[in-house]
Copies of this chain bind each other. A is one copy, B any other.
Amino acid sequence: MEPTIRFSDKEILLAHGSGGKASRRLIEGLIVPILSSPELERLNDAATVKVGSDDVVVTTDSFVVSPRVFSGGSIGELAVNGTLNDLAVSGAEPIAITLAMILEAGLSTQDLTHELLAIAKSARDAGIEIVTGDTKVVEHGKADGIFITTTGIGRMHQNAQLSVERARPGDRVLLSGPIGDHGITVLLARGEIDLQADELVSDTRSVWPFINTLLDTFGAEVKWIRDPTRGGLATTLNEFATAAELQVLIDEENVVINPPVRGACEVLGLDPFHIANEGQFVAIISDKVAAHAESLLKSMPGGHNARLIGSVTEGSVPIVLCKTAYGVTRVLDMLSGDPLPRIC
């Protein structure tokens, strides 16, 4: 059967890698129809594969962040934690990771060593092993220093019952911390914009300890989790609303946005809800355990900015609404275009 292709763009643009609307058109209109795999069509960040009697959770991501090194992290660290987080938001405990590197000829051994050390440290911190890998080299000018692709292998947490179908009106939206730190940090690290924010660092980290605690404690009361990376929190919540066929109402006052992020976004005309995060997650959780979940996260190291930011509501059109500090309600749309390419 011929695949039904619904992608009419003649060439690939940066926006197709943004994680927003253009990415979805490429993925849903071209890639998924041609590859026609039932597991792929679920568009989850991770897939579940039966091996013998066990379910194995697997996820893969390429990292092309520019610049390679930024305040609070670097591509090597991101390549480990980003992939662990895709396992984590699927409810899977990380077991192992694979590492494939594409190096540009002329890359200094010192720079490569920096990233290998970052990879080793992140893996060690997460208690996992890099089990296999591959290294390719391309001519100078045919890549950009280092591209890294990691694949994570994990095992589903025994209490995890994460599925968008289990979300109900009345469920609460729990956010793990401030938004926009990673995207704005990387943007400023490029030095193209005359802004300084010395206190701002990327939020990049593994979120598994938080999610593990939530699943241990609340099990099936946790309905759905995602990490709002490319496309930001607004895109992630829109993906939830569309898949769940429900609405989401966010109270902007409860969303923590660090002053340097708020300032940079105002100056640059960006919406912090569209800026990428690398160490945050958003969970849809039953109302009856929501307050307990928030206080539990707050009690954990690095969790003090966790907040209940809104609710799932009934509605005929899947949409994300945001009540601003001025009492106005605005529509939080998915990212379209790409204000900040190559942030991961």
Contacts and interface: CB of A to CB of B under 8 A. Distances in A.
B12 A112 contact: yes
A132 B60 contact: yes
Copies of this chain, whole number: 2
A135 B34 CA distance: 15
A116 B17 CA distance: 17
A134 interface: yes
A234 B62 CA distance: 32
Given A37-B130, A102-B147, A136-B64, A109 B10 contact: yes
A265 interface: no
Given A109-B10, A138-B64, A149-B60, A133 B52 contact: no
Interface in A105-155: 105-109, 112-113, 116-117, 119-120, 123, 129-139, 141-144, 147, 149, 151, 153, 155
A99 B137 CA distance: 19
Interface residues of A, number: 87
A26 to B, nearest CB: 7
Contact of A109 (B12, B104, B123): B12
A12 to B, nearest CB: 4
A112 B35 CA distance: 12
A116 to B, nearest CB: 4
Interface stretch (A41-49, A167-175, A194-202, A256-264): A41-49
Contacts of A10: 108-109
Contacts of A101: 62
A112 B30 contact: yes
A114 to B, nearest CB: 10
Contact of A98 (B9, B44, B151): B151
A54 interface: yes
Contacts of A123: 35, 37
A106 B35 contact: no
Contact of A54 (B39, B51, B99, B130): B51
Interface in A3-23: 3, 5, 7, 9-17, 23
Closest 3 CB pairs of A and B: A17-B137, A52-B54, A47-B131
Given A14-B138, A17-B135, A64-B136, 15 more contacts: A10-B109, A13-B137, A17-B103, A31-B135, A34-B113, A35-B123, A39-B132, A46-B132, A47-B96, A50-B95, A51-B51, A52-B55, A62-B102, A137-B341, A139-B342
